[in-house]
Amino acid sequence: MKNIYTVSLLSLGVIVWLIGSSWISPINPPTKKSVYNRPNSTGHFLYVATPGIRNYLGYGGHGIVVFDIDNDHKFVKRIPTQGLKSDGTPSNVKGVAVSQQLNSIYVSTLEALQRIDLRTEQVIWEKPYEGGCDRMSISPDGMTMYLPSLEKDFWRVINCETGDIITEIKVHSRAHNTIYGFSGSYAYMADIGSPLLYMADTRTHTITRKVGPFSAGVRPFTINSDESLAFVTVNELLGFEVGDLKTGEKLASIQVLGWDKGPVRRHGNPSHGIGLTPDEKEVWVCDGHNMRLHVFSAEAPYQQLTTIALDDMPGWVTFSMDGQYAYPSSGEVIETRTRKIITLLQDDNYNTVSSEKMVEIFMQDGQVVKAGDQFGLGRAQLAVE
């Protein structure tokens, strides 16, 4: 009997020790806020600016919400931002871009532009601009920004370090989306009120070429890495069109087959959002009415390949630089190879984060090592990143 009691007491002690040890998960697991303690984490992150769908705080609140791409896109932290309207409420975020050289992330709102230091996560400056701000793009050397007015007839060229205006470029009537080419030689400007895509020589900041005309006003667009082709969405078309950036000619108009065009809740056109996979083999096009992404071959005749159902209306799509993940603005993370939704972006309150303004950043001790782009740009002709 003595041996039996000894074994029983020994077993009880082991159980008590196990309960107190890390072998058994705690009853109340740590919240998402405790996943990362250091504000300047080293790693591979997705920075999502919110409110990135109009000023709707229900899609992720206010600030920059950071996710760990290599850890199942788990929530890391929320970086406070400014960007408030005159009544003190958060304004619509219109764009996001990164200067690796200045170690800064920029967030534009309807009224102003913020520069935020990525090491300290403090706002360095916020500047309002007469005529407002829209979706900007930064030069490869990180020092110059093309900043559209808020659907006025001009773009501003901005010094990224100071926010000072270098010059203005008159275009047509409704400045909107902007891409600074990887070569650094051209900036591409889409004016909603025009069926043309405008190209500016970045040495002189003057328009030197117009691509099109396309079938209607140009909405979101993307380009390939050697800056020879543009894939554009246009008003009234469920699908996309293709333009030759070297000759200025429109090459093709592709309609989504098998799906009806219908009313959309935002943006006013059926396909608002388009991305080119980094390997430049596929074009992914948003369908707001049917809440889907349609996938096409990126080579003529642009065969329609498949469709992916989403939980909400997509108004944008971009990709990780390696092409592994697609990020529609509806909050899903899609594995591009299998077309499968693998997770949803969720914030510190376990709410789905939906935004049309996000960018991938690799960080090392608070310093940007490399960064992606808010647009789904082709990268096939670039040097190994």
pLDDT digit string (tens) for the chain, length 385 residues: 434 434 343 344 433 333 343 332 333 333 444 344 445 579 999 999 999 999 999 999 999 999 999 999 999 999 999 999 999 999 999 999 999 999 999 999 999 999 999 999 999 999 999 999 999 999 999 999 999 999 999 999 999 999 999 999 999 999 999 999 999 999 999 999 999 999 999 999 999 999 999 999 999 999 999 999 999 999 999 999 999 999 999 999 999 999 999 999 999 999 999 999 999 999 999 999 999 999 999 999 999 999 999 999 999 999 999 999 999 999 999 999 999 999 999 999 999 999 999 999 999 999 999 999 999 999 999 965 4
3 state SS of 65? strand
Domain presence at residue 169: yes
Helix (H) / strand (E) containing 212: none
Tell me the one-letter amino acid at 64. I
Q: How far apart are CA 37 and CA 170, in angstroms?
A: 47
Q: How far is residue 135 CA from its own chain's centroid?
A: 11
CA distance 275 to 69: 19
Q: What pLDDT, on the 0 to 100 scale, is given for residue 214? A: 98
Q: H or E segment at 143? A: none
Domain count, the chain: 1
Q: Give the domain CATH number at 52.
A: 2.130.10.10
Residue 383 is predicted with a pLDDT of 65
Q: Report the pLDDT value the prediction gives residue 12, as an integer from 0 to 100.
A: 40
Could you tell me if residue 36 is inside a domain?
Answer: no
| Residue 30 domain-assigned (yes or no) | no
Q: Which three-class secondary structure state does DSSP give residue 11? A: helix
In a domain, 31, yes or no: no
Number of Cα atoms under 13 Å in the Cβ half of residue 244: 8
Give which of 89, 105, 186 is closest to 358, Cα–Cα.
105
Query: What was the pLDDT predicted at 155?
Result: 98
Please tell me the predicted confidence (pLDDT) of residue 286: 98
Domain contains 5: no
Residue-number span of the structural domain to which 356 is assigned: 46-371
pLDDT score, position 24: 28
SS3 328: strand
248 domain-assigned: yes
Judged by phi (left if over 0) then psi (alpha if -120 to 50, else beta), residue 321 lies in alpha
C-beta separation of 154 from 170 below 8 A: yes
277 domain residue, yes or no:
yes
Question: What single DSSP character describes residue 357?
Answer: -
- Which pLDDT value is given to residue 41? 79
CA distance 209 to 259: 35
- Alpha helices for 119-228 (secondary structure H): none
User: Does any domain span residue 341?
Assistant: yes
